[in-house]
Structure 1
C-alpha cells in the first residue's frame, strides 16, 4: 500500500464526541475540529477533481467509531448535472471482501463452522481435482485456495463462456460459476501461496447462505451492517435501468464499448453497464454504499467482532503466502491487507485497508491503529492524465493535509 495507512493521525487532538453523519448532510463539523481543517480537505478534493476532470468522489473520515467529516465532490451524473453529495452511493467493488469476511467470522462464533472447515464438505461439491478437498475457509479468506487469475483466468469475468458451457442463458449466476469451476483444475496446491481470488470470496458467500439459511445480502445486512448502524447499503445491480436511489453513474476509463454479458449477448455497451454480471459478484465485489457508510464499517469493526476475532482477522499467515519483497511489512489476513506498526497500543497493533477497483469504480477503505478510519470513493477508476489509479494518486495528497493539521495542532 502507498502511504494511506498514515492519514489523519493529527486529527485526534480535535475530535471529541463527534456526531454521526445524518442523511442529507454535506459536511460534518464537530466543535473541536477547526474550519481551517475542514477547508483543507475540501480544497484537496476540489483541486484533485479539477485536475482529473469528469470524476465524482466522496470522502468520509471517522474517529473512534463516529464520522467526523463527510462530503461529496464533483459530478454524480454528468449528463443530468447531478452533483455528488455525502449520501451518494457508489459501487465499492472489492471492499465487499472485508464485509464478507466479517460475516464468516460471525458464523464461526455461532459454531456453524471453523476456520479449518472444508468448503467441499460445507457446500456438498463433487470436484474433479482431488485437491479441492483440502481447501479450507482459512484458505479462502487469505486468498490461498488454489486459483491464480494470472495463471489461468478470473472465473467471475467469464460469465458468457461459463453459462454457455453449462447450456444456460448468460450471464452465469454465482452458483453456475461454482458448478463450472468445480470441474476445473486448481492452479496450485491449497495453502501453498497467495493469489488474489474473487472466486474464493464467491465461495464464501455461498457458505454464508448454506449455513445461515438466508441469502447472502439479507444475512449481511442483519448480522454485519445493521449492528453498526448501517442500513442503506445494498447489493448493486448491473444495468442502468436498475440504478439505486442516490447511486452515482459510472464512467469507464475508455470511450470504447464492451461486449454485453446480458441478452442480446455481445451487444456493445458501456463497460460498467453490462460487461460483467455484478449480481453474481455479491460477496466479493457488488456492495454499494456512501463513503460514510463504508467508513463506518471500518470504524466499527472492533465493536462488531470480539478481540479474538479481530486477532484472527489480522494474524500473519502461518507461512509466507506471497513472494512480494515487501511481504514482511504487510500481508493479507481475513479480508484485509495488514501492516503491523510499532506504537504503544497493544490492542490494535495494525493498520489495515482494502481497495476496490472496477471500470468506473475506484475505492479505498483504511482502518488505523489509533482509531481513525476513512473511505474515499470515485465513480471512475483511473486518471485520464496518466492512467494511474485515482485512489493511489490521492493517497499522498491526503497525507500532506494530515501533516498540515498535525503542525497546527503542535503549534503553541
Structure 2
C-alpha cells in the first residue's frame, strides 16, 4: 500500500477540518412555516343568521362561536352604518344592554373570591356596606335586611315591575348621588328581601355602586382594569348616550317604531352596571370562556365562585347572580335589550358557547316572536352537532 507523503497528508487533514468547520457553521435548514388556518364560511349557519335578520329588518349583526375553548367562527353580517353602507366586521363593537349584568355579577364574585366582599353582607344601614350614606335614615327593615346576594339574584323585594316599579330611567339628569338619595327617599321597599323574584335594573345599578365602594375605582375602570385586562379583553367600554358619543369601531343603532325616539336617549352613563357596556362578539365570548367552568381555558373564578354565580334563589332557581340558568337545556345564558339593541349569549355543557349582537330590535309591540326566534337561533347554534366547525382558534 502506497503511503501519503507528509506534506500531502497535512494538506488532506486541513481540508477535512475546514470542510467540517464550514458544515458546522452552516445555518440549519429552515422549518416549513405552517399556513395559518383560515375560517371557511359555513353556509348553513350564515343562511340562518341572514334569514333571521331579514325577517325582522335587522341592519347588522355579529356572531362568535367557541368550541372547547377555541374561537372557531366569527363573522359580521349586514351593515354597521346604513348611510355609508359600512359592513359589519367581527371587530365592530355593539352595546350589550342587560348582558352587562353578567359582567357585574362576575366582578362581584371576583371581589368575594379575593376576600373583599361577602354575598351575605348587608347593603344599607349603620355598619353595612353603604351605611347611611344615601337617603334619609332611619331605613325600613326591608332595606336594612337587603344583602348583596339579594341584589344579584333579583330578589331584593324592591324596584321591579311588581315591587314598586323599575325607576332606573327616572330623573336622568341626576348624578348618581342625587339619584340614590331620591331612590331611597321616594321608592319604598314593599317586600321582604328573598321573598319574591322581580327583575330589576336598579338592583344591578346598586351593585355597581358597591363595586366602586369596595374597589375604590369607578365601575368601568374596575371592569376594564381588574376584570378584563388580565384575560386579554381590551375592546370593552362604556356605551355613549348620543350618536356623537360612539366609540371607534362602534356600530350605529336603529330603532323600529317608537324605539326610534329613544335609540340615542338612554340614561348612560348612569346605566353602567345594569346595561351600559359595549364590546365585540369575540370579546364577549372571551369573557364567557373565563368563567364557563371548562378546563380548556383558564377561568378567572374558582369552582366555588362559579357555583355561587350560577346558583339561583329558592324562590326563583332559574336566575343566578346576573346570569340565567336553563337546567332543562344544560346551559347558562343572558340576553340584553334596549332601543336599537338586542344581544345574547349561551354557554352549553357540551363545550359550545355562542354570542350574537344586533344593532336593532323589533318594535316592542311585536317583540315576542322576535325574542323567541333569536333564542331558537342561539339554541340551534350550540346544540346542532352537524355544523362543520373547523379545529381552529381565532382568539
What TM-score, normalized to structure 1? 0.76
| Residues 157/207 of structure 1: CA separation in 2 closer, same or farther (3 Å cut) | same
Say whether 1:290 aligns with 2:280: yes
Give how far 1:390 is off: 3.7
**Residue aligning to 1:153:** 165
Measured against aligned partners, the alpha-carbon deviations of 1:368-403 in whole angstroms (never above 9, x if no partner) come to: 112211110111122799544645313324555667
Question: Counterpart of 2:373 in 1: which secondary structure?
Answer: helix
- The residue matched to 2:194 in structure 1 has which SS? coil
| Alpha-carbon offset, residue 139 of structure 1 | 0.3
- Which residue of the other structure, out of 298, 315, 318, is the alignment partner of 1:320? 315
Q: How far, CA to CA, are the matches of 1:140 and 1:384 in structure 2?
A: 26
Distance in 2 between residues matched to 1:28 and 1:148, nearest whole Å = 49
The answer to whether structure 1 residue 279 and structure 2 residue 266 are counterparts is no
Displacement of 1:128 in angstroms is 3.7
C-alpha deviation, 1:111, in angstroms: 1.5
Select which of 75, 79, 84 maps to 2:83.
79
Structure 1 residues 290 and 389: CA distance shift in structure 2, 3 A? farther
Take 2:213 and 2:383, find their aligned partners in 1: how far apart are those partners? 48
SS in 1 for 2:271: helix
Question: Does the 8 Å contact 1:159/1:277 carry over to 2?
Answer: no
Q: Residue in 1 aligned with 2:333?
A: 353
Q: 1:193 aligns with which of 193, 196, 220?
A: 196
- The alpha-carbon distance between structure 1 residues 69 and 407, as it changes in their structure 2 partners (threshold 3 A), is closer
CA deviation profile, 1:227-262 (whole Å, cap 9, x unmatched) = 2221110011101111111111111121576xxxxx
The residue matched to 2:343 in structure 1 has which SS?
Answer: strand
Separation in structure 2 between the aligned mates of residue 124 and residue 341 of structure 1, nearest angstrom: 41
Identify if the C-alpha distance between structure 1 residues 363 and 87 changes in structure 2 by more than 3 Å, giving closer, same or farther.
same
Q: Assess if the C-alpha contact under 8 Å between 2:348 and 2:382 holds in 1.
A: no
Gaps (5+ residues) in structure 2?
A: 1-35, 294-298, 390-395
Q: Tell me, what secondary structure is at the counterpart of 1:122?
A: coil
Q: Which runs of 4+ in 1 moved over 6 A?
A: 401-404
Partner of 1:173: 175
Distance 1:407 1:216, change over 3 A: closer
> Which residue number in structure 1 is paired with residue 130 of structure 2?
123
Distance 2:366 2:88 in 1: 24
In the TM superposition, residue 145 of structure 1 has moved relative to its aligned partner by: 0.8
Could you say what secondary structure the match of 1:57 adopts?
Answer: strand
Residue segments in structure 1 that go unaligned for 5+ positions in a row: 1-18, 20-26, 30-34, 161-170, 258-269, 322-329, 343-349
**Greater CA drift, 171-180 or 237-246:** 171-180
Query: Which residue number corresponds to residue 324 of structure 2?
Result: 337
The alignment's TM-score, normalised by the length of structure 2, stands at: 0.79
Q: 1:311 and 2:318 equivalent? A: no
Deviation at 1:355, TM superposition (A): 0.4
* Number of equivalences: 339
Alpha-carbon separation, structure 1, partners of 2:377 and 2:332: 19
Equivalence for 1:57: 61
1:16 aligned partner: none
Q: Secondary structure at the match of 2:349?
A: coil
One of 142, 156, 162 as aligned partner of 2:153: 142
Matched with 2:350 is 370
The alpha carbon displacement at 1:130 in A equals: 3.1
**RMSD over equivalenced CA pairs, Å:** 2.5
Give the distance between the partners of 2:345 and 2:91, measured in 1 at CA.
17
Distance in structure 1 (CA, Å) of the matches to 2:102 and 2:388: 34
Structure 1 counterpart SS, 2:286: helix
Q: 1:232-247, aligned counterparts within 5 Å? A: 232-247=235-250
Counterpart Cα distance in 2 of 1:195 and 1:385: 22
Structure number with bigger Rg: 2
Contact 1:174 1:280 in 2 (8 A): yes
